[in-house]
Amino acid sequence: MTESEIQLKAIAALTALRGGVAQDYVSDLLGEVIPTRFLVPDTDDAMEVGAAVLSQLTGPVSALVRGFILAFETVADAFDEAEAGEPTEQILQALALEIASDTD
- From CA 32, how far away is CA 22, in angstroms rounded? 16
Contacts of 33 (CB under 8 A, 6+ apart): 1, 6, 9, 60, 61, 63, 64
Res. 85: pLDDT tops 90: no
- Read off the pLDDT band of 86 (50, 70, 90): confident
Residues 40-76 pLDDT 10s? 999 999 999 999 999 999 999 999 999 999 999 999 9
